[in-house]
């Protein structure tokens, strides 16, 4: 069970590093507007990576809870 947790955590780290920053084009230093990300939708590979991140995060959470009860 610990091996599965390590594998999921490594995959989770890798997939988070693959995600593009949502504030790449934002000018943070000069301030931004609240509607900066309002019309941006994830498509294609960004949507897949976002969903995979959620699945891996949830799996990691469940594995950690399960290990703590053992």
Say which residues have a Cβ less than 8 Å from residue 42's Cβ, sequence separation at least 6. Answer: 50
pLDDT in tens, 6-29: 999 999 999 999 887 665 555 555
- Global pTM? 0.70
Say which residues have a Cβ less than 8 Å from residue 1's Cβ, sequence separation at least 6. Answer: 63, 66, 67, 70
φ, ψ at 68 (rounded to 5°): -70, -25
25/66: higher pLDDT: 66
pLDDT in tens, 25-51: 555 555 555 555 556 677 788 889 999
């Amino acid at each position: 069970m610990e091996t599965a947790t390590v594998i999921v955590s490594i995959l989770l780290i890798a997939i988070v590093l693959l995600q593009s920053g949502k504030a790449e084009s934002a000018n943070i230093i000069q301030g931004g507007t609240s509607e900066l990300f309002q019309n941006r939708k994830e498509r294609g590979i960004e949507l897949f990576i976002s969903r995979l991140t959620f699945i891996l995060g949830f799996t990691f959470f469940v594995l950690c809870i399960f290990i703590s009860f053992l």
